[in-house]
Amino acid sequence: MIELWEGIHTYFSANAGTAAFRALLTGDLWNVEAKPGTAFPYATFDLITDMPDNFASGKNFIENCLIQFNIFSDKKSAEELLTIYDALIACFDFTNITVSNYTVSSCVREAAVKLKEDNIWQMNIRYRIKLEPSED
């Protein structure tokens, strides 16, 4: 599902509505994992699952994708993490990302989990994104 990965990255890096989110992520947004030594704070995103809908209808499949964003911060409190979380959801809740060969029919946040391990705060945020194949 490279089209969805490219769509998320393009939306993040080129959309005026994501400027505040980009400014907070001084270590950038990475696909799957950040390179070693990346400065905090940063975020990653990855495709967790991709399951077709409508498989019995005879129509084109709708891709039902679960995407997870992970935000990382090394501050003593969770304040920075939560500020970045607020910026992320302002950008991605119900957004209309452009995805090649598809139309985004929904982008809905399903869950968020905050944790701290080895003095690094992490917030895992999952989105359900439904993609309808473009008509030829």
Give the model's pLDDT for residue 88.
96
Cis check: omega of the bond before 36, within 30 degrees of 0: no
0.85 exceeded by pTM: yes
Q: What is the pLDDT of residue 50?
A: 78
Q: Could you write out the DSSP letters of every residue in 1-58?
A: -HHHHHHHHHHHHH-GGGHHHHHH-TT-EEESSPPTTPPSSEEEEEEEEEEEE-TTSS
Digit-coded pLDDT (tens) for 74-117: 999 999 999 999 999 999 999 889 999 988 989 999 999 999 99
Region 2-133: CATH code: 3.30.2000.30
C-beta of residue 114 within 8 angstroms of C-beta of residue 78: yes
Domain boundaries, the chain: 2-133
Residue 55: predicted pLDDT: 55
Rg (CA), the chain: 16
**Tens of pLDDT along 45-80?**
999 987 666 554 555 677 889 999 999 999 999 999
Residue 1 scores a pLDDT above 60: yes
Structure confidence at residue 83 (pLDDT): 97
Measured over the CA atoms of residue 42, residue 86, residue 46 and residue 7, the dihedral's sign is negative
